[in-house]
């Protein structure tokens, strides 16, 4: 998995421009790969925009080798130094680029070798929501959170079926929210507004070390994949800190 973080010049844009940025991304990849992405139910990438230390950052995550080659590499090109949000007539400069990488095997190695934390602080950087039985769920239902991450992981690594109902039930049963600071928001998308939430929660895993290690692996993956719906359009970006007691 590879993450490209780009510092942008215009501080006036925000997550409300996320769908526009997805359009910019599609303009800079090959037509064949763009057509391929349109046929996929689970996208091998996520993207979102956020502010950190007064810097406006656009983050694009590739979840497999093909997405790294077809999405990250064109954006890393020297020719990609500016773009335009056409509907708003905004011209944006790309001031800096930085790449981070985590291989899937590293997550597996951590699962077996690192002493697991049992407390995690999860920050939902951009508006997040789930969908169940045709309705939007805009609060952090833990079962839906784990189910979403397991589904995304399985969709990327076909050889690893992560969505095990027994493990899902155990994760949901052994996890509890100890703290939260959340706010409901609306995420604008193509003429509609999706009800969502953002903020942070602290989760405690009461089960065995193996369950805690499994949760950590899912959360680490979720930092790249996003969680919930529309992660390719800027929703569901998350950041995880283990051992939230610190």
- Give the whole-number percent of the chain exceeding pLDDT 90: 72
Fold agreement (2-101, 104-242): yes
Q: Which two tokens stand for residue 225?
A: 């994949």
Q: Which two tokens stand for residue 41?
A: 């139910």
Predicted local confidence at residue 215, as pLDDT: 94
Q: Where are the domains of the chain?
A: 2-101, 104-242
Instruction: Please give the Cα distance from 155 to 163 (Å, whole number).
Output: 10
- The list of the chain residues with pLDDT below 50 reads 243-246
Specify the CATH architecture of the domain 104-242: 2-Layer Sandwich (3.30)
CB 28 within 8 A of CB 217: no
Predicted local confidence at residue 243, as pLDDT: 45
CB 228 within 8 A of CB 128: yes
The top-level CATH class assigned to 2-101 is: alpha beta
Alpha carbon of residue 148 to chain centroid: 11
Exposed, middle or buried by CB within 10 Å (0-12, 13-18, 19+), for 44? buried
Predicted local confidence at residue 12, as pLDDT: 80
For residue range 129-140, what is the model confidence (pLDDT) as tens digits? 999 999 999 999
Name the β-bridge partners of 159: none
For residue range 84-122, what is the model confidence (pLDDT) as tens digits? 987 778 899 999 999 999 988 888 888 888 888 899 999
Predicted local confidence at residue 244, as pLDDT: 41
CA atoms within 13 A on the CB side of 5: 11
Predicted local confidence at residue 160, as pLDDT: 56
Predicted local confidence at residue 245, as pLDDT: 39
Closest CA to 234 of 14, 84, 39: 14
């Amino acid at each position: 998995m590879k993450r490209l973080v780009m510092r942008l010049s215009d501080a006036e844009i925000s997550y409300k421009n996320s769908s526009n940025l997805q359009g910019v991304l599609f303009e800079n990849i090959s037509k064949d790969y763009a057509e391929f992405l349109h046929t996929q139910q689970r996208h091998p990438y996520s993207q979102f925009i956020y502010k950190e230390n007064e810097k406006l950052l656009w983050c694009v995550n590739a979840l497999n080798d093909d997405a790294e080659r077809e999405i990250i590499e064109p954006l890393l090109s020297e020719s990609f130094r500016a773009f335009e949000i056409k509907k708003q007539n905004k011209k944006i400069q790309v001031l800096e680029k930085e790449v981070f990488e985590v291989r899937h095997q590293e997550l597996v190695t951590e699962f077996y070798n690192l002493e697991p934390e049992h407390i995690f602080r999860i920050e939902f950087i951009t508006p997040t929501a789930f969908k169940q039985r045709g309705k939007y769920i805009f609060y952090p239902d833990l079962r839906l959170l784990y189910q979403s991450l397991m589904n995304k992981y399985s969709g990327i690594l076909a050889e690893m079926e992560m969505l095990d109902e027994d493990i899902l039930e155990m994760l949901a049963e052994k996890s509890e929210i100890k703290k939260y600071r959340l706010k409901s928001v609306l995420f604008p998308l193509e003429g509609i507004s999706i009800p969502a939430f953002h903020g942070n929660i602290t989760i405690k895993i009461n089960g065995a070390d193996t369950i805690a290690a499994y949760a950590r692996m899912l959360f680490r993956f979720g930092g790249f994949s996003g969680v919930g719906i529309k992660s390719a359009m800027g929703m569901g970006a998350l950041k995880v800190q283990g051992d939230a007691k610190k």
